[in-house]
Amino acid sequence: MTDLIVKCLEPADLPLLLATPPGLFDNPVDPGQSAAFLSDPLHHIVVGLLDGVVVSFASGTILLHPDKAPSLFINEVGTRDTVLRRGYARAVTQALIDHARRLGCQGIWLGTEPDNTAARALYRRLGGDEVSFIGYGWDGALDD
27 assigned to some structural domain: yes
Tell me the C-alpha to C-alpha distance, in Å, between residue 7 and each of 56, 92, 111, 141: 10, 8, 24, 28
19 assigned to some structural domain: yes
Distance CA 33, CA 77 (A): 18
144 assigned to some structural domain: no
141 assigned to some structural domain: no
Pick from 104, 111, 105, 95: nearest CA to 71: 105
137 assigned to some structural domain: no
**Neighbouring residues of 90: CB distance < 8 A, sequence distance ≥ 6:** 122, 125, 126
pLDDT tens figures, 39-81: 999 999 999 999 999 999 999 999 999 999 999 999 999 999 9
| pLDDT tens by residue, the chain, 144 residues | 459 999 999 999 999 999 999 999 999 999 999 999 999 999 999 999 999 999 999 999 999 999 999 999 999 999 999 999 999 999 999 999 999 999 999 999 999 999 999 999 999 999 999 998 888 889 988 776
What is the span of the domain harbouring residue 74? 5-125
| Segment holding 121, helix H or strand E | helix 117-125
Q: What percent of the chain has pLDDT over 70?
A: 98
Instruction: State how many domains the chain has.
Output: 1
pLDDT at residue number 141: 80
Neighbours of 86 (CB within 10 A): 17
136 assigned to some structural domain: no
89 assigned to some structural domain: yes
25 assigned to some structural domain: yes
